A = this chain, B = another copy of it.
Amino acid sequence: MAYIDPNAVRTVTSIGGGPIGGGWAAHFLARGYDVVAYLHDQNEEESYRSIVDTAWKSLTDLGVAEGTSLERLTLTFNLKNAVKDTDFIQESAPERLEIKQALYKELGDIVPAHVVIGSSTSGLTMSDIQAKCSTPKRCIIAHPFNPPYLLPLVELVGGKLSDPSAVTWAEDFYTLAGKSPLVMKKEIPGFVATRLQEALWREALHMVANGEATPADIDNALMNGPAPRMVAQGQCMAFHVACGEGGMATNLDQFGPALKLPWTRLEAPELTQELRDRMVDGCNDMAGQERFEDMAARRDRQIVAVLRALRDTN
C-alpha cells in the first residue's frame, strides 16, 4: 500500500470526546494541521472545548506553528463527515473492545485504505481491535502519554494484520508532527512506558499496603529522587554515566548480585551474558563518541535547568 507522503498530511481527524482525543486535537492544531474532531455525543462538546482551550494555553507557551489557530478545529458528530478528505486518523474512543471493533469495522469501510489509523488505546491490542475491520493493514497502535499535548512519547506497534510499513509511515509522520515515536519490537500488553510505570506503581501499592510508605512518601520519593534526573537521562544512561568510564558493564558486573536482593517484589531476570551484552552495547550506542564527563556535565546542566524551572513556576 502506498500511503500519502507524511509531509503532505494537511488534515488530521481526532476521534473521541475525552481528554486524550481533545489533547491530540490540540497537539495537531498547534503543529499547524487542520483538525476535524469527531465526538460521539453532543453533550461532550462543552467539556471538549474546555480540554482543548486548556491545552492550547500550554501549547502557545511552548510555541505553536505559524498561521495556526483554534479556528482550524472543526467539530462534528457525524463520523462520515469527520473522515471525509482526512489524511490521518487518531482514534481515542472509549477503552472497550466492542466499541473499538465496531468503530474500526465502520472506518474500514468508509476510509480509503491508504489513510493510516492510529489508536490511542493503552489496554487493548491492535490484533483484537482490527479483527472486524475490512482494511486492517493500515490500522496500528499509536499510544500517547497523558497529557498527550505535552508529553512527547507515542508508542507504535501493529497487530497481526497490520502492514509493517504503516508503522514506518507513522514513525515518520509523528516525528514531523513533533512527537518522539517509539517503534515497539513486539505487541506486548502495556507497551514499553506503561509497563515500566506499572512496575513502579505496583511496587508503590505493595508499600502502601504493607504500611511501609504513604502515598505522600511515594510521591516525595519520585519527585525529589529519580524524576529530575529522568528527564535528562533514562534509567539505562543514568546508570551508564553514574559508573564513569566503566559504564553499564561496571554497573552490571558490580551490582548484578544486587538483582537478587529483595529490593522490590519484582523478580529479576537472570543476568545472562546475552542480557549483559545487550545492555552494554545499547548504552554504548546511545553514548556514541561523547565522553563520560561531558555526559555527566550535560545531565547536571539539565537537572539544574529543570530545578530552576520548577522553582520559578511553583
Interface extent on A, as a size class?
35 or more
Give Cα distance in the complex from A145 to B226, angstroms: 7
A268→B264 CA distance, assembly (Å) = 12
Flag whether A214 is at the interface (Cβ < 8 A): yes
- Among the 9-residue stretches A37-45, A66-74, A129-137, A230-238, the one with 4 or more Cβ atoms under 8 Å from chain B is A230-238
Q: Mark A174-208, 1 if CB is under 8 A from B, else 0.
A: 00000010101110111011111111111111111
Distance to closest chain B CB from A239 (angstroms): 8
Contact residue among B203, B232, B279 (Cβ-Cβ distance under 8 Å from A215): B279
User: 0/1 per residue, A241-270, Cβ < 8 Å to B?
Assistant: 010000010000000001101111111111
A203-B195, A268-B202 known; A308-B309 Cβ under 8 A: yes
**B263–A155 contact, CB under 8 A?**
no
Contact B224 A58 (CB under 8 A): no
Partner of A306, one of B190, B193, B208, B309: B309
Number of chain copies forming the complex: 2
Say yes or no: is A146 at the interface (Cβ < 8 Å to chain B): yes
Complex: chain B residue closest to A223, CB-CB: B234
Is A189's CB under 8 angstroms from B153's CB? no
Instruction: Determine chain A's interface SS by DSSP, over half rule.
Output: helix
Q: Chain B contacts of A153 at CB under 8 A?
A: 220-221, 224-225
| Interface-side segment among A99-107, A113-121, A162-170, A280-288 | A280-288
Binding site for B on A (CB under 8 A): 19, 54-55, 57-58, 61-62, 123, 145-147, 150-153, 155, 180, 182, 184-186, 188-190, 192-209, 211-237, 239, 242, 248, 258-259, 261-272, 274-275, 278-279, 282-283, 285-286, 293, 296-298, 300-310, 312-314
